[in-house]
Structure 1
């Protein structure tokens, strides 16, 4: 680190006064100790990027949470851990070449490296086993199974534990989807059945109305004239045109005998 221990302590005190909670004053912050530059920090908790990041600020984030180790990354990230990273992940100090965003006089890791520092919370901090080393940033644990060496990722282990502790979320979701689709199918079938019955009733009503209209029209139509009826003759006929009895059928032309003297 470029600045002195006294400057770091003063900076930490200033930050605690400006940003720390009231209960923070009860915590005693001891001098920090830089351990070195590491390529990986497995299981460390990333607190995110801070615009004014520094070792003093990171210490005031990790110590209240009970972390004896912290790491600074990419100039602005603060990470907290319980143990020192595996020795195999230690790298050359030149890889931690990024100045802290909030205090340019010190380094806060690099683009692919972490400056690891003891927060002063514990004097004797253990180191992680080599089996906790990571590959591509994913924490792995070395296990032996049936004579084979297997690296198990921490994420996979956590996911497996979560699946064992609770119900199968995917199965429940699939069951809900199938149930909803079935309900939609039943409702759609009922709707189309109702529409079909309604249309059928409308067609029956229409045919019934047509039959009634045809019947009424037939009732109003006058009967056809008898072909035996001679209208012209009946218009010219006088009561005394003949001597045939009145109850005869006058709708036909018949032979008439008249008295010429009359």
Structure 2
């Protein structure tokens, strides 16, 4: 009975070790590219310039390479059910140990389709000589991390947009106030100039009227100044210079043609 228990436990342990060994060695070692055949190029910590093409059902090395090859791409990569295509390998500085690619392919679970922050990269067989990225892109993460970063960036972008809109609104309000103030000042200046022009013209007109009055008075004084009996431009008539008036004043007085040197006896009734 004890022997049976020992045998069963040993079998379980062996199965566990075998499973762990199989899981940790899902990634096929990189091999030299062969024209016309797809080969594994390695396990990478970045995608470089590779772009997500699709998420095919039952994704695997053969499935993803077939998609990229049909579209004329020389490089393919997998991460679980995601298939990436491009024309250059990621930078060699991002090359990881094969043990980092431990994610079984959905369509063929004995193959690795990437891992945690790792991608399995292939040569599609269209061309043997393929260039690699000139700079490292080790900052790339898994699709989940990428999605999270994208969401964060979007949220941040939204906040920035809102901030920009707020700033624009504030700037617009400030500009509006400035325009209103400018218009008010311009109106006041124009009103002041118009008022000044009006008073200047009025003063000039009054001065012209006064000058005209002075000229008229001088002319009148010149015209009437040489006549006798004129005073201040008003003609004053002297009665002594009028013969008719003199005759009227002599009427009823002592006759000038009588001789008053003789004595005349006048009889009065008692």
Could you say which TM-score interval applies, normalised by the shorter chain? Answer: 0.3 to 0.5
More helix by share: 2
**Structure with the greater alpha carbon radius of gyration:** 2
Give the TM-score normalised by structure 2: 0.39
